[in-house]
């Protein structure tokens, strides 16, 4: 067991799994059914954005207006309806290198593992369940309208502290993600950012974005002291 247990907050897409484009497939189906436009989210969004932001930005781009709150909620709901089949049928789905072994080892050492993700909680469950990874996460914080990634990290820290029954010093909290937005969110909350170059950004880009540590894959040990 670790002498000092750490709180380790993991992003999902590009950090733990790649869905092989399943998310985009589900978005396209949702837009086509609700608005008659098979929108390609990749034309309008950036890696690391939250689901509500992806939906809102794509909606505005293809319909030339902002969605109402109800329209955005329906879009997210319809997208989630299609996501399980899209993930199950994705030939490109894969658990990223070293992930199951690393999560198991960290858990067995007594560290507290949580999720911080731009996915809604339902989407997070769907994406991780195919890879049998949900078993490692006892808590998490997920995307909701109006909450940015730093707000998601703050929520996760609050939930970790509730589980531990104490305030947790920032130096004991690490955010593990694959985009500059993950790094920015970690630093906004005063946590360390461990970047993994298994998503859209290589190690050099992640260092330039200010990551405290950069790993090529989660096959490497986490530098958590």
DSSP string, 97-146: TTHHHHHHHHHHTTPEEEEE-SS-HHHHHHHHHTTT-GGG-SEEE---TT
Closest CA to 113 of 99, 97, 123, 93: 99
Highest mean pLDDT among 3-7, 54-58, 94-98: 94-98
**Mean pLDDT, rounded, for 12-31:** 96
- The tens digit of pLDDT for each residue in 193-208 reads 999 999 999 999 999 9
- pTM score: 0.95
- The pLDDT of residue 3 is 78
What average pLDDT does the segment 36-40 reach? Answer: 92
Distances (CA, A) of 216 to 95, 101, 111, 176: 15, 16, 22, 12
pLDDT tens profile 39-49: 998 887 777 88
- Spatial CA neighbour of 91 closest among 19, 42, 41, 24: 19
Residue 9, helix vs strand vs coil = strand
pLDDT band for 191, please (50, 70, 90 cuts).
very high
Topology at the third CATH level for domain 7-19+94-215: Rossmann fold (3.40.50)
Q: In what order do the strands lie in the sheet with 7-10?
A: 139-141, 112-116, 7-10, 173-177, 192-196, 213-215
pLDDT > 90? residue 20: yes
Tell me how crowded residue 179 is: count the other CB atoms within 10 A of its CB.
26
Cα(14)–Cα(178) distance, rounded to whole angstroms? 6
Burial class (CB in 10 A: 0-12, 13-18, 19+), 176: buried
Measured distance CA(157)–CA(170) in Å, rounded: 9
Q: SS3 sequence, 14-39? A: CCCEECCCHHHHHHHHHHHHHHCCCC
Closest CA to 145 of 183, 109, 118, 185: 118
Of the chain, the percentage scoring pLDDT greater than 70 comes to: 100
Domain ranges of the chain: 7-19+94-215, 22-89
* pLDDT tens-place string over residues 59-71: 999 999 999 999 9
């Amino acid at each position: 067991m670790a002498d000092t247990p750490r709180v380790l907050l993991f992003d999902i897409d590009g950090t733990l799994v790649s869905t092989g484009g399943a998310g985009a497939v589900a978005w396209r189906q949702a837009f086509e059914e609700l608005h008659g436009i098979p929108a390609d989210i990749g034309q309008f969004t950036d890696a690391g954005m939250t689901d509500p932001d992806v939906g809102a930005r794509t909606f505005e781009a293809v319909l030339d207006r902002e969605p109402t709150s109800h329209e955005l909620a329906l879009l997210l709901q319809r997208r989630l309806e299609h996501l399980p089949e899209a993930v199950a049928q994705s030939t490109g789905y894969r658990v990223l290198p070293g992930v199951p072994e690393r999560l198991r080892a960290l858990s067995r050492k007594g560290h507290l593992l949580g999720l911080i993700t731009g996915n809604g909680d339902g989407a997070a469950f769907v994406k991780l369940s195919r890879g049998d990874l949900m078993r490692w996460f006892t808590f998490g914080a997920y995307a909701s309208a109006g909450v940015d990634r730093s707000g998601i990290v703050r929520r996760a820290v609050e939930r970790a502290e509730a589980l531990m029954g104490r305030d947790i010093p920032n130096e004991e909290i690490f955010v593990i993600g694959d985009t500059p937005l993950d790094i920015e969110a970690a630093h906004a909350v005063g946590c360390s950012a461990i970047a993994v170059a298994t998503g859209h950004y290589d190690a050099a880009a992640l260092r330039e974005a200010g990551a405290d540590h950069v790993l090529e894959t989660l096959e490497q040990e986490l530098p958590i002291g």
